[in-house]
Amino acid sequence: MKNILLTISLFLTYTIYGQNSYPQFQNPSLEGISGINVVPAGYTNCLLSGLSSPDIQPGIWNVFLQPSDGNNYVGIICRGNGTWEGFTTQLNTPLLDKDNYSFLIDLSTSNKYFGYNDSAATLKIWGGNFDCDKKKLLWESSPINNINYWRTDTVIFARSENNITHITFEPGYTTSMPYKGNILIDNIRPYNGTLVRVEDIKISNRNKEILFDILGREIKNYDLIPYGSIYIKNRKKQIKIVK
């Protein structure tokens, strides 16, 4: 009698409880008048050690990428001395501790920006209760290495503690050694995809450690999961946190 190898596939139906909400940003298209050391209406500089603040682009420091939406966007840099630029806003409505949140954001980097282009930076999004408050890291992007063209990132995070009233944006380094980098940011808008339910995920009984995002897509590398994002491992919802 021939041995028949049976591969058993399990179908997982997983529900993530909680409402999927969009943070209510002021001026989400980041419109303003192009200039040095200025931020759009509705936002505030987060100065570090009295150094420079973000710029409203395009046309500043040899950055001429056209906006992905509207007429303007924001550019921020990180420096080789371990300092960086950032900006903050008070949300129109606080983030509640019972909800999941998501939005889309367009990101790019310039190969100019007055020489601040040594290596790709990440975008960190912090939550807090006053301007520039970094109480909790909500999300961090993968390295932004798309030069002079826009990519769209899906920001997804879950609230698990006190309500948040302010959001802060700043660049992050990908190595322990600081370097010069820049990030271009535009077009914050709602994400209308399905987040609250993952259906019919096929997993092999021989590899239950496989990872999925909350859209049911397989994740090949844990390191590619942005900090603050929700993922599924062993049929359980996880949140990637900073060590």
Would the pTM count as exceeding 0.85? no
Report d(CA 137, CA 82) in Å as an integer.
18
* Residue 130 in this model has a pLDDT that exceeds 90: yes
- Sorted by where each starts, the structural domains of the chain and their CATH numbers stand as 9-18+194-239 (no CATH), 20-189 (2.60.120.260)
List the single range of 25-29, 95-99, 165-169, 224-228 with lowest mean pLDDT.
Answer: 224-228
User: Which has more pLDDT, 199 or 63?
Assistant: 63
The residues near 236 (Cβ < 8 Å, ≥ 6 apart) are none
Q: What is the CA radius of gyration of the chain?
A: 20
Half-sphere exposure (CA, 13 Å, Cβ side) for 151?
15
> Across residues 108-128, what is the average pLDDT?
95
Q: Alpha carbon 29 to chain centroid distance? A: 16
Residues 75-86: pLDDT tens digits? 999 999 999 999
d(C-alpha 18, C-alpha 9), whole Å: 28
